[in-house]
């Protein structure tokens, strides 16, 4: 059985055209899967457009490597980073490798290195993440091959390694068992030429396989400059689960890190000194779908996916209007990019797109649970989860599902009603503040009348603030009593620590997150919430919107959420999310659970 490593570099010596053949990539990825779990770098040695130096396979691996090393050792005497044409098979290879890895190796972050592709005598390249082993398509039983590979990797890359001895070498592809017939005499293809300065755009929420392909092909086609427009939050409001889209700055950094890792690029001003033939990367914020692609005269090519090809033509129409040359539209091989898929019909999380990745985040832990502080006035003996969300976001349905799984749900809306029952001090305070016209014939507060004072009219804001100010402390007191009673019952029956769900619509506005271990937020789009309030409570659209506006937004809630759930789809989809959230919660309630270790593991 092979030892698993967190990270490694795979050296592929066979020519890309042969690597693209049949199931070769599939076999290679299956081999990699047994060796690395977290980060993989892939070095493609032979991507030249000329006939491949080592591709018509020489059975003597050491010979191949010696030749590679001769190249590596000559770096000081030869000019570095000399551009050359590369084989068009690089594109299908990238697509095959990235998509095969996405389907076989869940959680493996693959980075196919491109600084050698289309470049003679590349300079030593910096790998930004440590590597623990070398994998190759060469026979690692030979000590000579292993030593040469170790030398090859150390002379071509700067990297950190957590192992203090030489990196272990593992063979992952035995070509002798693969069929390469038909690969050598295929008709010659046109080599790939650089297309000048390249532009591309997108949301780049989670850099997934589709984005990696888009960014890789753009990098290969660029000769001097890559301009990337990343969408600003305003453009994203209509996307599915838009609240879960990462902030712009974070999305920019992810794109930049990926490109710095795989290619010879720089991000500061061109006047400064940079390695020969490195490419300038510019990332800008775009507030409309066209961005600078429509106005920058120094661009030659736009890189798009099949799904966004139309956008490329829209850009060209805009350029023509602006008196600029149209761009060459390069459509990448395969890939699914930022299209919002219909998750109500398909809950298949394996299809890679940003929306499916956001969907997969539902129910998972997004940040470390709160730690108790001496000032948090935290109820003892229970694991308290604040369940919140906008009006009609489905909190009650989620609470009921959690109750079936074993949680104790404390309904704070109901406690709110109890708080000002006749005869209580809170009743007197509310009536004193809002007038006796809110008291109905039975002597109880008429919530409909009270609601009209706090959700509509000129004074609604102050009125709501005052009502909250009077009622929240009492609801908090009643909620804490309910938690203490639950703890008492569990202790007397020798049951494990209870999970108490504090179902509270305005938990965050009230600042009650300070005495919870976690905040779980239920989100539905505002339009859906309004529709539900009209149907559920028989309210007018205006009334429903007023209530919604009196609360904070989904995005504000998600910023403080540990777990996000959504009842937007069929009940069974909600059930799956809740079960996932509950299972993960049970794991983190174990005494030996550790956030740092768990998040490291979940990256595997
Ligand atoms: C910190 C907390 O979350 S405690 C729980 C919420 N309760 C409070 O804040 C107490 C003040 N609220 C109240 O007294 C009542 O809700 C009233 C008088 C405003 C309205 O009463 P009713 O019309 O019967 O509404 P009800 O209490 O059933 O609540 C209906 C919706 O109003 C919203 N709502 C309730 N209180 C508030 C508030 N203080 N601010 C904004 N929205 C509120 C909720 O979103 C709730 O819908 P949801 O359960 O789908 O989320």
Tokens 């003892």 sit on residue: 380
| Bigger pLDDT: 319 vs 58 | 319
Q: According to the model, what pLDDT value does residue 560 have?
A: 95
Q: Which domains does the chain have, with CATH numbers?
A: 5-177 (no CATH), 196-331 (3.40.50.620), 360-370+379-602 (3.40.50.300)
Query: Interface pTM (ipTM) of the complex?
Result: 0.97
- Regarding the beta carbon of 225 and ligand 1, being less than 6 Å apart is answered no
| Bigger pLDDT: 380 vs 479 | 479
Question: What is the DSSP track for 345-359?
Answer: T---TTS-SHHHHHH
Q: Probe ligand 1: pick from 475, 505, 539, 557, max atoms within 8 Å of CB?
A: 505
Q: Is the pLDDT of residue 394 over 60?
A: yes
Q: Probe ligand 1: pick from 416, 474, 480, 482, max atoms within 8 Å of CB?
A: 416
Q: Is the pLDDT of residue 129 over 70?
A: yes
Residue with the smallest CA separation from ligand 1 atom 34 is: 505
Contact 129, 55 (CB under 8 A): no
Please state the φ and ψ torsions of residue 134, each to the nearest 5 degrees.
-115, 130
Contacts of 38 (CB under 8 A, 6+ apart): 6, 7, 107, 108, 109, 603, 604
Tokens of 153: 């990797």
Q: Which of 54-58, 160-164, 265-269, 285-289 has the lowest mean pLDDT?
A: 54-58
Helix (H) or strand (E) holding 213: helix 209-221
Indicate the pairing of strand 301-304 with strand 408-411: unpaired
CA-550 nearest atom, ligand 1: 41
163-199 pLDDT tens trace:
767 888 988 877 666 666 555 444 456 666 777 899 9
Distance CA 151, CA 166 (A): 10
CA-450 nearest atom, ligand 1: 18
Q: According to the model, what pLDDT value does residue 602 have?
A: 52
Q: According to the model, what pLDDT value does residue 138 have?
A: 82
Indicate the pairing of strand 36-44 with strand 5-12: parallel
Ligand 1 centroid to Cα of residue 194, in Å, is 61
Contact 582, 402 (CB under 8 A): yes
Q: According to the model, what pLDDT value does residue 346 have?
A: 46
Record the pTM.
0.78
Please state the φ and ψ torsions of residue 435, each to the nearest 5 degrees.
95, 155
Banded model confidence at residue 83, pLDDT cuts 50, 70, 90: confident
410-464 pLDDT tens trace:
999 999 999 999 999 999 999 999 999 999 999 999 999 999 999 988 899 999 9
Beta bridge partners of 134: 9, 169
Q: What is the mean pLDDT of residues 33-46?
A: 93
Of 164, 162, 139, 159, which is closest to residue 149 (Cα–Cα)?
139
Distance CA 594, CA 587 (A): 10
């Amino acid at each position: 059985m092979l030892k698993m490593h967190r990270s490694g570099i795979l050296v592929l010596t066979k020519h890309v055209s042969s690597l693209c053949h049949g199931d070769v990539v599939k076999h290679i990825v299956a081999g990699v899967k047994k060796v690395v779990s977290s980060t993989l770098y892939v070095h493609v040695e032979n991507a030249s457009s000329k006939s491949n130096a080592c591709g018509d396979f020489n059975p003597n691996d050491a010979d191949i490597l010696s030749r590679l090393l001769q190249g590596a050792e000559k770096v000081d005497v030869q000019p570095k980073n000399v551009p050359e044409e590369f084989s068009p098979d690089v594109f299908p290879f990238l697509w095959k490798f990235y998509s095969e890895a996405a389907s076989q190796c869940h959680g493996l972050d693959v980075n196919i290195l491109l600084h050698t592709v289309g470049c003679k005598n590349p300079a030593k390249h910096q790998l930004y993440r440590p590597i623990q082993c070398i994998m190759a398509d060469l026979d690692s039983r030979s000590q000579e091959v292993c030593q040469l590979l170790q030398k090859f990797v150390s002379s071509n890359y700067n990297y950190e390694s957590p192992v203090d001895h030489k990196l272990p070498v593992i063979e992952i592809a035995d070509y002798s068992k693969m069929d390469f017939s038909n690969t050598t005499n295929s008709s010659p293809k046109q080599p790939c030429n650089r297309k000048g300065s390249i532009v591309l755009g997108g949301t780049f929420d989670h850099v997934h396989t589709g984005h990696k392909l888009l960014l890789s092909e753009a990098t290969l086609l660029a000769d001097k400059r890559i301009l990337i427009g990343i969408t600003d939050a305003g453009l994203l409001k209509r996307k599915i689960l838009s609240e879960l889209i990462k902030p712009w700055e974070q999305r920019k950094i992810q794109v930049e890190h990926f490109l710095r890792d795989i290619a010879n690029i720089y991000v500061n001003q061109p006047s400064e000194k940079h390695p020969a033939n490195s490419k300038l990367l510019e990332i800008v914020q775009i507030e409309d779908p066209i961005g600078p692609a429509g106005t920058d005269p120094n661009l030659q090519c736009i890189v798009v996916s099949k799904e966004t090809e139309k956008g490329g033509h829209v850009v060209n129409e805009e350029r023509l209007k602006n008196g600029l040359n149209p761009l060459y539209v390069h459509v990448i091989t395969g890939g699914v990019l930022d299209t919002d898929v219909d998750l109500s019909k398909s809950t298949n999380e394996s299809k890679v797109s940003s929306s499916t990745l956001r969907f997969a985040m539902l129910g998972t832990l997004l940040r470390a649970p709160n730690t108790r502080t001496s000032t948090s006035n935290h109820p003892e003996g229970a694991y308290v989860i604040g369940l919140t969300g906008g009006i009609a976001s489905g909190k009650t349905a989620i609470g009921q599902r959690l109750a079936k799984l074993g949680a104790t749900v404390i309904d704070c809306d109901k406690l709110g009603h109890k708080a000002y029952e006749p005869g209580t001090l809170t009743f007197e305070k509310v009536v004193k503040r809002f007038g006796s016209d809110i008291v109905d014939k039975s002597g109880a507060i008429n919530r409909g009348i009270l609601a009209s004072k706090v959700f509509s009219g000129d004074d609604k804001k102050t009125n709501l603030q005052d009502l909250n100010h009077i009622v929240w402390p009492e609801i908090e007191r009643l909620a804490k009593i309910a938690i203490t009673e639950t703890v008492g019952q569990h202790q007397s029956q020798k049951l494990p620590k209870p999970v108490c769900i504090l179902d509270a619509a305005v938990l965050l506005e009230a600042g009650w997150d300070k005495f919870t271990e976690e905040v779980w937020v239920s989100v539905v789009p505002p339009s859906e919430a309004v529709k539900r309030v009209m149907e559920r409570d028989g309210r007018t659209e205006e009334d429903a919107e007023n209530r919604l506006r009196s609360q904070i937004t989904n995005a504000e809630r998600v910023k403080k959420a540990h777990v996000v759930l959504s009842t937007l789809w069929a009940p069974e989809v909600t059930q799956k999310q809740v079960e996932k959230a509950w299972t993960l919660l049970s794991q983190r309630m174990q005494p030996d659970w550790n956030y740092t270790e768990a998040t490291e593991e979940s990256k595997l």
